[in-house]
Amino acid sequence: MNHVATEPVDLGAPLRVADLLAARGPIRVTAGEAVREQVAAGRIFLAKVLGDDRAVYGSTTGFGALVGYAGRADLRDQADNTLAHLGAGHGPDIDPAVARATLLVRAWSLARGASGVSPHVIDALTAALATTFVPAMPRYGSVGASGDLIPLGAAAQALRGRGHAYVGGERLPAAEALRRAGLEPLPLDGRDALALVNGTSLTTAAAALALAATRSAHRGVQRLTCLLADLLGSDPQFLDARLLGAYGHPGVVAVGAAMRGFAAGLTPSGRRPLQEPYSLRCAPQLLGAAEDALRYVDGVVAADLGAVSDNPLFFPADDAVVHGGNFFGQPAAFAADLLSMVVAQVGNLAERQLDLLVDPHRNTGLPPMLAAGPGQQHGLQGVQLASTAIVAEIRRDAVPASMQSLPTNLHNQDVVPLGTQAALRALDQARLLRILVGSLALGLRQAAHVGARTPTAPASAALLDALGAAIAPIDPDRPLEDDVRRAADVVEEFER
């Protein structure tokens, strides 16, 4: 039996990033009377428009560059006309958590009633989200315009019982996955099929999840910076409110205030230089600039989660069918590229702080590599090597996707945003940043074992205690990949 989260997501309420995070497992999604009425009204209006013999893209026409040709006369057959040619994706399947978040974003957009979909499409999406069903969606194939056509096409086909899907983590033919999940194959006509694929819901979902992961790591690095300064005995004047207020940037002021709160009680040892290296002294400026950038991404993601992404849109009150480009994922493309830049610089900061911590010439006399017995043991040496490689990996992938436009589809799509690639890559990088956070946290835990002073700030001491309770000292050497992930968990879950 599938376990369903107790807190439902209401399709009549604003969609939140927290809802997307919850959707990684079975979740109750409800559509109240007002939602059902607006979806029904859109569907009734579609029937009227078609009865009036008006041209409606995707219902009476071909698709993309073939819009000048008539579609199939039978609207049920038009669903195959929509979806069959989109079975052209490649690469690994998209992460199940991202795929399920995508279904939720698509359900919310369609529930606005402006897409003219059948009410049973909303019901099918909410029913699937209440189970462990996950459509198998290919990673490669979307340019982030005209919707995430190829991956969403695979999702629509899976809901129909075609292609592949997962249930309980097992990849199966979609028809069998539906059966095991207790779901019925979804019947579609041409408008239903096009509405399922003609939006950037994958881009939106991936960008939202990348933002959540980056924000978590960003908070973690703020706290770890304070713990590092405390263990080394640094003077906390680099966090002074007057200093940062004079700098004038809102994010810097906010981050400085948060870090001062965490570092409250930090007493300098008098053994550190007057001015710390930039990886400590300029941390509030760097992390504050990241905060300003993240606030911009917050706004883009919130707008995307509240957007109707489809074409055409139906406005029954105005007796209007409006064709345009609300499937063009440019806002998320820019935002995701900005996220990648934030991840790269915050990751660089964490790696440089780890380098400072393991260097006996700069760490106030701690042993090299924080080894309990240098030469006989090697402490954080392997972890630092891996961190260096991860920073290089993040940097290599930080080239903006949103500037890589290539014309396609007989120049119908002559400019494209490539937001899907930007968002999925930002999510990949945010997950790598989490490893860097865990690596720095593990180093700080080990520093306490090999002679660092006891933190004088209560919050820093509590974080160090939490790390110490979860992770044994590195003495003797052992494989540390699990400890890095565990340290990242501790930092993420820590509450002051």
- Joined together, the tokens standing for residue 147 give 């919707």
CA atoms within 13 A on the CB side of 95: 18
Phi, psi (degrees; rounded to nearest 5) at 237: -65, -15
User: Of 57, 166, 278, 296, which residue is the catalytic one?
Assistant: 57
- C-alpha atoms less than 13 angstroms from C-alpha of 233 in its C-beta half-sphere: 15
Q: Cβ distance 142 to 151 under 8 Å? A: yes
Q: How would DSSP label each residue in 198-262?
A: SS-HHHHHHHHHHHHHHHHHHHHHHHHHHHHHHHHT--GGGG-HHHHHHH--HHHHHHHHHHHHH
Cα→Cα distances 395→17, 273, 433, 488, Å: 26, 31, 11, 21
Angle of CA points 322, 327, 330, to nearest 5°: 125
| Cβ burial 263-290 (10 Å sphere, 16+ → b, else e) | beebeeeeebeeebeebbbebbbbbbbb
CA distances from 247 to 76, 240, 259, 288 (A): 62, 11, 16, 11
- Rounded CA-CA distance 397/395 in Å is 5
Helix (H, G, I), strand (E, B) or coil at 405: coil
- How far apart are alpha carbons 168 and 122 in whole angstroms? 22
- 57 part of the active site: yes
Q: What distance in Å separates the CA atoms of residue 481 and residue 72, rounded to the nearest whole number?
A: 56
* Residues 425-446: b if buried by 16+ CB within 10 A, e if exposed: bbbbbbbbbbbbbbbbbbbbbb
Amino acid (1-letter code) at residue 350: A
Active site residues: 57
